[in-house]
Amino acid sequence: MKRSCLLALAFGLTAQGFVQAQNPIIHDQFTADPTARVFKGKVYLYPSHDIPSPVDRLKEWFCMADYHVFSSENLTDWTDHGVILDQKDVPWGKPDGYSMWAPDCVYKDGTYYFYFPDAPNGEGRRGFAIGVATSKHPEGPFTPLDQPIEGVNGIDPCVLLDKDNKAYLFWGGGGLRMARLKDNMTELDSEPQTVEGLPEGFKEGPFAFERNGKYYLTFPWVEDKTETLAYAMSDNPMGPYTFKGKIMEQSPTGCWTNHHSIVEYKGQWYLFYHHNDYSPEFDKRRSTRIDSLFFNADGTIQLVRPTLRGVGLTDARSQIQIDRYSDITPGASIAFLNEDNKFEGWKTILDSKDATIRYNNVDFGTKAAQEVTVKVKAPSGGHLRIALSGLQPFTMKLPPSKEWVLVKDHAPVSATGVHDLSVSLVSGTSVELDWMTWK
Ligand code: FUB
């Protein structure tokens, strides 16, 4: 996935058309602990913001100095609204604490309440407290209150605002904790209590929501070595909760944490979670992903399989990053385009005959596409077979080139509507593909 405008311009393209719904969804910075909320008909994403640490003590740990917020109407194109809160602007926080961990944001009676953990400043104050910042707009800027919420020590706040406008705060700190909030949304209205009835194993990062009169408390849970996502259900926001099982298995590729939120948007439920896609060697630099989530008829949640493909349709006229594949066969692999700047994204490598990569749900619209362009590097030339589901596959010739080139060909298919796209190697070796587009 190349995002270099320079290169695009060199090929006579514009920077427009970088339309990607794949995982990860934010391509120019780390975005961990994603809380997604629907406000004003859009999805707003409030993640924490991992950065390489400027201070020695956090070189091997989480390091976050500020929060950005992003919004999207289609879960594909995300607008970064910039910094909404910086550690140096929190009156009670350490200006160099770099501890702005997982946040949340809820809307009540004309105000957006942004809940965030931070390291408190001052003699003898240790650990984490949870602050509130307010705004009249979901994209901020947010103004922090003078003091954190009294009686709360911990991380990962989540607020459930119930249908009757009563609010409940959940957080991580020596187990999963919860308390009612007062109407002002900034003070506790009950003694903090630990959520009972959950299995052994480290738990943090709670996310609570209501659906069809059932309350869901979902959380990262270490069942074995690293964090799975799991959940419990109740008839009441304050419990008792009954453990129901897992939503996502632990990652097989080495990100210790997983942190999530669950949101319904335009009739579909989505799981927002994170993985260290852009930082495979160091799992404290994470990136937000989205996959679809489904409920069973009895309200239980089906296991979500993490994908690179992510959600939504991809416009056939955009640069389709097929390395965010739905499926791949032996002989096909992906790699970073530039190991020194992983945010440039990935490429596909086809190394043996019939090696195939498949990318689902490409939208060709109503006007038939008749031309295909591939950004490719084929040192000894070769041929690709291109197949759109339900249509006759066709072959494309690749000229020998050790550099990236755009190869354009007539597509002898009349593609409209939504198709799954497969690309296979017919001949050649070490053929690399950056992206593909249709016209
Ligand atoms: O991002 C820092 C911490 O890592 C979060 O607070 C946890 O939930 C875990 O994702």
Q: Which atom of ligand 1 is nearest to the CA of 156?
A: 6
Among protein residues, the one whose CA lies closest to atom 1 of ligand 1? 101
The top-level CATH class assigned to 314-438 is mainly beta
Task: Give ranges for CATH 2.115.10.20 in the chain.
Answer: 4-293
Tell me what percent of the residues of the chain surpass a pLDDT of 90.
92
- 345-364 residue pLDDT tens: 999 999 999 999 999 999 99
Calpha distance 112→315 (Å, rounded): 34
- Provide the β-strand partners of residue 32: 48
Tell me whether residue 204 is one of the annotated catalytic residues. yes
- 4-21 residue pLDDT tens: 333 333 333 333 333 346
Closest CA relative to residue 341, chosen from 290, 385, 426, 279 = 279
Three-state SS string across the chain, please?
Answer: CCCCHHHHHHCCCCCCCCCCCCCCCCCCCCCEEEEEEEECCEEEEEEECECCCCCHHHCCCCCECEEEEEEECCCCCCEEEEEEEEHHHCCCECCCCCECCCCEEEEECCEEEEEEEECECCCCCCCCEEEEEEECCCCCCCEECCCCCCCCECEEEEEEECCCCCEEEEEECCCEEEEEECCCCCCECCCCEECCCCCCCCECCCEEEEECCEEEEEEEEECCCCEEEEEEEECCCCCCCEEEEEEECCCCCCCCCCCCEEEEECCEEEEEEEECCCCCCCCCCCEEEEEEECECCCCCECCCCCCCCCCCCEECCCCECCCCCCEECCCEEEEECCCCCHHHCEEEEECCCCCEEEEEEEECCCCCEEEEEEEEECCCCEEEEEEECCCCCEEEEECCCCCCEEEEEEEEEEECCEEEEEEEEEECCCEEEEEEEEC
CATH topology of domain 4-293: Tachylectin-2; Chain A (2.115.10)
Task: Give ranges for CATH 2.60.120.260 in the chain.
Answer: 314-438
Average pLDDT, the chain: 94
Task: For ligand 1, pick from 101, 170, 218 the residue to mutate: most ligand atoms within 8 Å of CB.
Answer: 101
pLDDT at 256 over 90: yes
Pocket of ligand 1 (CB under 6 A): 32-33, 48, 62, 101-102, 155-156, 204-205, 257, 259
Among protein residues, the one whose CA lies closest to atom 9 of ligand 1? 257
Beta-strand pair 111-118/104-108: antiparallel
Q: Which atom of ligand 1 is nearest to the CA of 32?
A: 1
Which pLDDT band holds residue 378 (cuts at 50, 70, 90)?
very high
Which pLDDT score is estimated for 21? 62
Cβ–Cβ under 8 Å, residues 68 and 47: yes
pLDDT at 289 over 50: yes
Q: How far is the CA of 404 from the centre of ligand 1 (A)?
A: 39
- 141-193 residue pLDDT tens: 999 999 999 999 999 999 999 999 999 999 999 899 999 999 999 999 999 99
